[in-house]
């Protein structure tokens, strides 16, 4: 099949060619004219052998089967070479839907019949990711400077993210396109009127704008939640949203059109780095959602290995660029990530269900983006330009929904806990009122008894006025009674203090009152000293009972062998590396709430690292289990010291 096009354009090319071959002599000019007539006759025969593509409506899709193709494996041919060797263009048995070999150049040719077409037509290459594109119309180069992602955006004839060119108003136009690309691209063109072109641009801008709006809102939401709750999931969510925003800007060409149009090298760096960044950001987000950041966790190992294999695949593709297998290496870690999410859900973590639904859309969009270069290009490019946006937006909405549900459940839990604390406080207040009433009743009885005894004393004093010998005896009796009353008053006060102390030592008070009683490390060390050496001091080495002040808070040093024994040794607080006041808080809360109190909540209450709270609460539970197995009854948190 030969090179077809308009007769005027072709004759102009023949004239240029003949002028290179013939002399200006009269005889040679005659031969030149005869050669032109002969070639024109042969060309006219072929011209009517294949009709140009008629454009009669405001939109026409140019299918790859309507184009003639040539694959230049040397990438050395120029446009003038095809004028001489017109047989290079042909319609093969198998049409290439897009670029396959990265170091090759692809030439396409087709003709458009604009005789009955609408006015103001535009020719658009639907793939905005092509690196290098040159276009000739009737032998005239329309791209004085090549267009594509490797060239400055401002050099384009029409300022649009996809390479677009204005078509003549009428006649038959011969189009020749030269394409080079380092990644898979589509051979797909559209002819549109100016109205259809603007309409499609506005629709694309609206859809892309909606996707950008969702991602930007998600990024703002995650940053606010990170500042509010200081949880790692919101940080990884922010990184994922920002990475997705960069991916959007690269894939749909908006970033190249509006931000880095004068720096086309940025497109190359983004092509290399964005897949890696998106895999890492998505992996971190999945690990945060399923709470698997521990290096010993099975899911952590699966995701890490899949990411490592993916990076190895990218490295292999760098050395063997003709193998278009990097798409599969890109998809592999996403499949492993959704497997981990589904397995976590099956193991009882129902909170990841909404995330799985959204992540499934990401997998489908990535699968579409990976496989569609091998499908028919007539619809592939339209799906590809929206598939990543749909997947990421679906994941963003599902994750935001799950986080709102988490906050809702957290608020409900706090409300129920507040109601429970209020009920306990009211119960304690009723107990306090009852104890105060009993104490007041006893004091009234004591006062009445005192008044009665005082009246007796006055009567006796009146009777003993006459008896000086009995006055001293009565006076002694009064003194003894007063001493007894004072002792009873002291005992009453001591009873009140012991009742308060007993309530502190038991689990019957709320954590608020416990913090009021134990408000400093000094109070904790004093109680620990009383409990440890309530039966007296005995040296742990020589059993000596005499001691002096040791090194450290409330420590004791043996006067015989000089052994220094800290107040925390051989207790539950032995070798802790945080304030003992917080250790008392953790001991009280763990003994009071048991398994219902998770280390995460405990870490927020006492303001310690999650791992520290988990290790110390585990030590407390082990001590309690040990005492219960030995048959000892653990009635209070004091028993665990």
- Please state the separation of Cα 109 from the chain's center in Å: 47
Higher local confidence (pLDDT), 103 or 266: 266
pLDDT confidence of residue 127: 85
pLDDT confidence of residue 369: 63
Mean pLDDT of all residues in 611-623: 89
Percent of all residues in the chain with a pLDDT value above 90, rounded to a whole number: 16
pLDDT band at 575 (very low <50, low <70, confident <90, very high): confident
CA–CA gap between residue 483 and residue 628 (Å, rounded): 47
pLDDT confidence of residue 502: 56
Query: Does residue 12 register a pLDDT over 50?
Result: no
pLDDT confidence of residue 329: 76
Residues 146/131, Cβ–Cβ less than 8 Å: no
**Cβ neighbour number for residue 372 with a 10 Å cutoff:** 22
Mean pLDDT of all residues in 593-602: 84
Query: Does residue 247 register a pLDDT over 50?
Result: yes
pLDDT of 298-342, one tens digit each?
999 999 999 998 888 777 765 555 544 556 777 888 889 989 989
Lowest-confidence range among 14-18, 92-96, 185-189, 236-240? Answer: 14-18
Query: Does residue 468 register a pLDDT over 80?
Result: no
Strand-pairing partners, residue 564, are 557
Closest by CA position to 125, among listed 54, 179, 182: 179
Mean pLDDT of all residues in 468-493: 71
Mean pLDDT of all residues in 535-560: 87
Angle at 451 between CA 447 and CA 452, to 5 degrees: 115
pLDDT band at 505 (very low <50, low <70, confident <90, very high): low
Contacts 24+ apart (CB under 8 A), 253-261: 253/128, 253/129, 253/161, 253/162, 254/161, 254/208, 256/128, 256/149, 256/153, 256/161, 257/153, 257/159, 257/160, 257/161, 261/152, 261/153, 261/154
Query: Which residue, chain included where needed, has tokens 């539970």?
Result: 621
Closest by CA position to 254, among listed 387, 158, 156, 153: 153
pLDDT confidence of residue 371: 59
Looking at every residue in the chain, the average pLDDT score rounds to 79
| Greatest mean pLDDT range, 114-118, 222-226, 469-473, 535-539 | 114-118
Buried/exposed 73-105: b ≥16 CB within 10 Å, e otherwise:
eeeebeeeebeeebebbeeeeeebbbbbebebb
Mean pLDDT of all residues in 130-151: 90
Lowest-confidence range among 18-22, 83-87, 267-271? Answer: 18-22
Mean pLDDT of all residues in 488-499: 59
CA–CA gap between residue 55 and residue 418 (Å, rounded): 74
Tokens of 158: 């029409």
Query: Does residue 297 register a pLDDT over 60?
Result: yes
Higher local confidence (pLDDT), 22 or 154: 154
Query: Does residue 11 register a pLDDT over 60?
Result: no
Q: Any idea what DSSP says for residue 117?
A: P
- Please state the separation of Cα 450 from the chain's center in Å: 76
Higher local confidence (pLDDT), 6 or 387: 387
CA–CA gap between residue 109 and residue 87 (Å, rounded): 12
pLDDT confidence of residue 47: 35
pLDDT confidence of residue 486: 73
pLDDT confidence of residue 409: 74
Mean pLDDT of all residues in 534-542: 87
pLDDT confidence of residue 17: 41
pLDDT band at 570 (very low <50, low <70, confident <90, very high): confident
Query: Does residue 577 register a pLDDT over 90?
Result: no
pLDDT confidence of residue 362: 80
Mean pLDDT of all residues in 391-405: 80
Query: Does residue 183 register a pLDDT over 50?
Result: yes
pLDDT confidence of residue 33: 54
Higher local confidence (pLDDT), 376 or 608: 608
């Amino acid at each position: 099949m030969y090179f077809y096009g308009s007769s005027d354009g072709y004759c102009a090319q023949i004239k240029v060619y003949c002028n290179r071959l013939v002399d200006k002599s009269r005889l040679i000019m005659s031969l030149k004219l005869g050669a032109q007539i002969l070639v024109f006759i042969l060309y006219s025969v072929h011209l009517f052998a294949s009709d140009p593509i008629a454009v009669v409506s405001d939109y026409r899709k140019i299918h790859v089967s309507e184009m003639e193709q040539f694959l230049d494996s040397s990438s050395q041919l120029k446009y003038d070479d095809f004028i001489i060797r017109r047989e290079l263009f042909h319609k093969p048995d198998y049409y290439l839907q897009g670029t396959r070999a990265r170091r090759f150049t692809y030439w396409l040719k087709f003709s458009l019949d604009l005789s009955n077409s609408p006015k103001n037509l535009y020719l658009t290459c639907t793939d905005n990711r092509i690196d290098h594109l040159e276009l000739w119309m009737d032998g005239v180069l329309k791209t004085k400077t090549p267009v594509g992602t490797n060239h400055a955006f401002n050099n384009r004839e029409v300022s649009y993210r996809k390479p677009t060119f204005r078509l003549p108003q009428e006649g038959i136009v011969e189009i020749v396109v030269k394409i080079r690309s380092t990644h898979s691209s589509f051979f797909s063109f559209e002819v549109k009127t100016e109205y259809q072109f603007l309409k499609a641009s506005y629709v694309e801008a609206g859809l892309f704008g909606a996707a950008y709006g969702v991602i930007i809102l998600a990024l703002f939401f995650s940053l606010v939640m990170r500042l509010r709750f200081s949880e790692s999931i919101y940080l990884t969510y922010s990184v994922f949203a920002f990475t997705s925003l960069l991916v959007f800007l690269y894939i749909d060409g908006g970033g190249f059109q509006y931000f880095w149009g004068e720096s086309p090298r940025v497109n190359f760096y983004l092509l290399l780095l964005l897949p890696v960044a998106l895999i890492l950001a998505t992996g971190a987000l999945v690990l945060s959602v399923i709470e698997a950041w521990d290096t010993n966790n099975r899911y952590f190992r699966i995701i890490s290995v899949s990411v490592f294999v993916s990076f190895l695949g990218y490295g292999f593709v760098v050395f063997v660029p003709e193998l278009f297998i990097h798409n599969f290496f890109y998809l592999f870690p996403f499949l492993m990530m959704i497997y981990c999410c589904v397995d976590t859900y099956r193991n009882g973590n129902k909170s990841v269900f909404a995330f799985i639904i959204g992540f499934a859309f990401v997998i489908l969009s990535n699968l579409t983006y990976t496989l569609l270069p091998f499908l028919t290009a007539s619809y592939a490019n339209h799906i590809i330009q929206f598939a990543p946006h749909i997947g990421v937006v679906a994941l963003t909405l599902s994750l935001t929904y799950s986080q709102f549900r988490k906050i809702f459940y957290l608020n409900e839990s706090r409300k129920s806990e507040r109601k429970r604390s209020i009920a306990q406080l009211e119960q304690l207040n009723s107990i306090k009122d009852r104890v105060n009433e009993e104490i007041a009743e006893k004091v009234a009885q004591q006062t009445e008894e005192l008044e009665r005894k005082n009246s007796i004393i006055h009567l006796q004093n009146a009777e003993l006025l006459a008896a000086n010998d009995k006055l001293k005896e009565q006076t002694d009796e009064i003194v003894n009674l007063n001493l007894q009353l004072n002792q009873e008053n002291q005992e009453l006060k001591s009873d009140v203090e012991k009742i308060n102390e007993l309530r502190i030592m038991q689990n019957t008070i709320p954590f608020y009152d416990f913090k009021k009683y134990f408000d400093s490390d000094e109070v904790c060390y004093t109680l620990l000293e009383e409990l440890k050496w309530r039966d007296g001091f005995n040296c742990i080495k020589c059993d000596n009972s005499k001691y002096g002040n040791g090194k450290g808070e409330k420590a004791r040093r043996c006067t015989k062998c000089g052994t220094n024994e800290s107040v925390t040794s051989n207790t539950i607080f032995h070798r802790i590396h945080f304030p003992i006041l917080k250790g008392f808080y953790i001991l009280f809360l763990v003994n009071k709430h048991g398994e219902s109190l998770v280390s995460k909540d405990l870490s927020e209450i006492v303001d310690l690292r999650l791992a520290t709270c988990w290790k110390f609460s585990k030590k407390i539970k082990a001590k309690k289990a040990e005492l219960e197995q030995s048959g000892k009854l653990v009635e209070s948190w004091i028993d665990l010291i």
